Structure 1
Amino acid sequence: MLPRIAAAALIAAAVVLAPVPAVAATASEDPGLQQRIDAVLAEFPGGTQTGPDEVSWQDGAVVLTLESEGQLAARSVGSCATGTHCVYSGSGLSGSKLTFSTCSTQSVAPLGAPVASIANARSVVVRAYNSIGVVGSVSANGSASTSSWGVTKVGC
């Protein structure tokens, strides 16, 4: 029994380093997902399916979240949480931070300082704008130094 718990812990550790899905997949979106969950439960008994893409052991102390195949998953970037994009007053994702949870184009004025860096923890491209138009973009799961861009708005 101990080797199986150790193996489950190893899987959970590997999952920590794996991409986190931007949106939990359902069996109808990825029919193979339920088969993969069933295979994990068969190989590592004692687990419980706790969501459409999740299995847990030891009352939730160990949780495995499976990514839907073929899905570009967003993951946190620095201190910018999964599914959001953030602008920072400092370079390298430092200083004061303004977080956006929607993709509509919005002003960065509440930051109160020039935007020096942007983090994109989404699965889509985030665009940076100044008074003239688009001045740059940040790829999914990426970041950029923007101190020379004169960013006034961001959106995706």
Structure 2
Amino acid sequence: MRMRRYAASVALGTLFVVAGAGPAMAESPEEVDPLVVQMLEDVPGGVLVDATHAEWPELGMALTVPTAGDLSARTASGSCASGLICVYKLPSLSGAFLSYSGCGVLAVPGDWTVRSMDNNRASGYAQARNVTTVLATANAGSWTNVGGTTTNIRCVF
């Protein structure tokens, strides 16, 4: 009698493990962040990198939407890689950001709100501007909060 119960328990346990393993093993693809989708629709030439990143190679521009893990991994210069200029949607280098690898007058997409800027270059300065009016300036290796409506970033070596 004990043997039958043991065999039935093992069979039932195996059934639950096998039945339960199917859905756990089948992972659905990560859903693309809505901000990434919007930017890809608004700015032509973009390439989806993953669920939280897109790039525009011809513009030298990339979008990064931080995940919960990214928010706790800040460096002294935000999340902006060395040699780039980054503009953030929130003050104090927070939230989603656009990074620019080029220099000159860099267009900011129309729906993008700039609230802080990081100039993570070794020399020169970057200006957040509304057409030609300077809203904020960040010297090399520094950052600043930005007020007003930014239409472009001017980078000077």
Comparing both structures, which one devotes a greater share of its residues to strand?
2
| TM tier relative to shorter chain | 0.3 to 0.5
TM-score by length of 1: 0.47
What TM-score, normalized by structure 2, do the two folds share? Answer: 0.46
Q: Larger C-alpha radius of gyration, 1 or 2?
A: 2
Q: Which has the higher contact order (CA 8 A, sep 6+)?
A: 1
